[in-house]
Amino acid sequence: MGNPSVKDRIEKSRSAVSMLTEQTGAKLKVRSAVVLLVAVCLSMTAIAIWEAWNSRQYHLHDKEVAMSNLAQTLASQARASIKQADTLLFALVDRLENDGMGPAQLPRLQRLLMAQRSELSQLHGLFVFDEKGRWFANSNGANLPDANNSDREYFIFHRDHPDRGPHIGPSIKSRSSGEWIMTVSRRLNYPDGRFAGVALATIYLNHFLTLYDNIDMGRNGVINLIADDASIVVRRPFNEAEIGSSVAKGPLFTQLLPKGDSGTATVKSYVDGVERVVGFRRVEGYPLVIFAALDKEEVLTGWRAETMLSAGIVSLLLGFLSFLGFRLIRLMKQQNQVQSVLLDAQEKLIEVNRSLELLALEDALTGLSNRRQFDLFILAEMGRARRTQTSLALLMIDVDHFKSFNDQSGHLAGDECLRKISAIITDNIKRPGDLAARYGGEEFAVVLPGTDYVGAFLVAEKIRRAVQQAGIAHSTSPEGTVTVSLGVCAYDPAAQAQPDDLIGAADKALYVAKASGRNMSVIAN
C-alpha cells in the first residue's frame, strides 16, 4: 500500500525542518508563552467557576438542612397540640361511655368541658353530639337547640366506621363562631357497640398560623400542614380559597413521600409554580404532613452577590495578567526575524501531516477499519462483483439504546462497550476477504464479498446472538443487556450503481429493525 508522492514529500520536509530548527525555536517560545498565559487565565476562570458552583450548592444544601430541621420542629409542635386535644377526647369518651349521656350528667359535663377548654389555649372548643348529630354538650356555652352536625365530615366518618382511634378532619368554619378550625374527633359507642355519637375537639387554625407567621421564611416562603389525603389543612401565607384544596398531583405526593416519611428536595410548587427548597416530615401518630419551603431565588440572592463580587475581582486580575502577557508576547515576536520562513515550514509540516492522516485507515478506538477504508473497500468490491458477476452483501449494525447507556454509565463505559462489540463482530467474520469497519458513532458495517443475502443473514444473526449472550449490562434497555439491530442487503448491480445505493438499502433495513422493536436482523426488500 505505498504512496511514493507522500514519502518524497516527507523526505523533503525533513531536510527543510532540520535547517529551520533554530528559527522554529523562537516561535515555539512565543507559543509556549501564549499557552502558559491561556492556561493561567483558564485555570483562574475554572477555579472561580468551581468555587461559585460549590458556594451555590452549599447555600442550597444549608437551606435544605434548615428546612428539614424546621419541618421536624413544626411536626413535633403539631403533634403536641393535637395530642393534648386528643388526650382530652380520650378521657371524655371514656367518661361518657361509662356514665352515660343522660340529662343528669349534662350540667357536670358542661362544667368539665369548659374547665378543660380553658387549660389549652389552642382549643376553640369541646363538643359532644348524639347519634343524630344533635348538640348534647359544648365548652363554649353555645345554646343552639336546632343545631345539627350530622352533615359534617367527621360525624359521617365515625357513623360509618367502627374505628375508635382519633380522626383528623378537613379544616372548616365553626358554625358557632365563624372561625377557621381543625377538627379532632372520636367515636362514642353504646354498651352494645352501636354508634352513640361523636366527641369533638376543635383547634384554632390561627394557633398554627401565629407560630408560622413568626418564622422568617422570606417574602415567598411557605409552611403547609397537609392531610394524608393531600388536602391543605392550613397554609402560610393564609388564603381561605386554598384551605381544603388538593395537592395530590404536586411533587410532595408524587415524588417525595413515596420515597420516605421525611426528607428535603428542590421542587416546583403545585399551588403557585414557584421553585422552592423544601423540607417535609410526617406528623408522628397522625395522618398529617408538615411542608416548609423557601423560595430558591431568595435563597440564592446572597450567593449571587458573592459571585458577582468574586467575578469582578477575577476579571480585574485576568485583565491585568492579559495586559502583561500581551506585552511580553509582543516583545518576543519582535525578536522573531524569520517568521515568514517559519510559517512556510509550518505549512509544509501541515501538508505532510494531512498526507499521513490519509494513510491511516484504522479506527483508533475499536481497531476496526475506519470510514475511509470502508468507502475504498466497498467501492472496489462492487466493481469486482460487477466484473465477475459474483455476489456481495453488506451488514449495517447499530447498538440499541446506546445514548441512554452512555448517559447512565458514562463515556468510558460506552467506549469499552464499543470495543467489546467490535471484538464480537471480528470473531464472527472469519474469511480473510471480509471487512468490518466502524461506520460512525455506535454504527458498524460489515462487507461480505462472495456472499448472498441468505449467508449474510446467517452471519448477522450470529453477531446479534453473540452480542446478546455477551451480557453487557444495560439497565434502561428492555432486554437488560446491550443488544444490536442489523440491516442486511445483497448487492444488486442493476439497481445499485453507487455504494450509497447499497448502503442506503442496508440502512433502510436497519431502520425497519429498530422500528420493529430492535434486537433483530432485517433483510432489505
Q: Please name which of 391, 422, 426, 435 lies closest in space to residue 484, comparing C-alpha atoms.
A: 422
* Alpha carbon of residue 133 to chain centroid: 51
Specify the pLDDT at position 138: 85
Average pLDDT rounded to a whole number, residues 496-500: 90
User: What Rg do the C-alpha atoms of the chain give, in angstroms?
Assistant: 40
Specify the pLDDT at position 40: 86
* Alpha carbon of residue 250 to chain centroid: 16
Specify the pLDDT at position 513: 94
- 8 Å CB contact between 497 and 482: no
**Cell 444488486 sits at which residue?**
492
Write out pLDDT tens, residues 81-138. Answer: 999 888 989 988 988 888 877 777 777 888 888 888 888 888 888 999 989 988 888 8
Specify the pLDDT at position 1: 34
C-alpha angle with apex 189: 187 to 190, nearest 5 degrees?
A: 165
Domains and CATH numbers, the chain: 21-337 (3.30.450.20), 371-523 (3.30.70.270)
Q: List beta partners, residue 465.
A: none
- 8 Å CB contact between 136 and 95: no
Q: Over the range 411-445, which residues count as b (16 or more CB within 10 Å of their CB) and which as e? A: eeebeebbeebbebbbebbeeeebbbbbbeebbbb
Residues 6+ apart with CB under 8 A from 295: 218, 219, 220, 221, 274, 275, 276
Average pLDDT rounded to a whole number, residues 38-61: 88
Say whether pLDDT at 6 is over 70: no
Write out pLDDT tens, residues 239-289. Answer: 888 888 889 998 989 999 999 999 999 998 888 888 999 999 999 989 999
Rounded alpha-carbon distances, angstroms, from residue 456 to 189, 218, 396, 411, 494: 82, 69, 11, 31, 20
Residue 64 phi, psi dihedral angles, 5° rounding? -60, -45
Say whether pLDDT at 355 is over 90: no
Say whether pLDDT at 142 is over 50: yes
The percentage of the chain sitting over the pLDDT mark of 70, rounded to a whole number, equals 91
Write out pLDDT tens, residues 160-199. Answer: 999 888 999 888 888 777 889 999 999 999 988 899 999 9
Give the H or E element holding residue 465.
helix 453-470
Specify the pLDDT at position 338: 57
Distance CA 234, CA 170 (A): 10
Distance CA 268, CA 251 (A): 7
Specify the pLDDT at position 107: 79
Say whether pLDDT at 2 is over 80: no
Residues 6+ apart with CB under 8 A from 505: 489, 496, 524
Does 442 participate in catalysis according to the annotation? yes
The percentage of the chain sitting over the pLDDT mark of 90, rounded to a whole number, equals 43
Least trusted range by pLDDT, from 36-40, 164-168, 251-255, 437-441: 36-40
Residue of 179, 357, 442, 443 marked active site: 442
Distance CA 456, CA 436 (A): 13
Give the H or E element holding residue 268.
strand 262-268
Write out pLDDT tens, residues 303-326. Answer: 888 888 888 898 888 888 888 888
Specify the pLDDT at position 342: 62
Q: Please name which of 11, 161, 169, 14 lies closest in space to residue 85, comparing C-alpha atoms.
A: 169
Amino acid at 456: A
Band of pLDDT at residue 465, cut at 50, 70 and 90? very high
For 130, half-sphere exposure in the C-beta direction (CA atoms, 13 angstrom radius) is 11
Say whether pLDDT at 27 is over 80: no
Amino acid at 491: Y
Mean pLDDT of the chain: 86
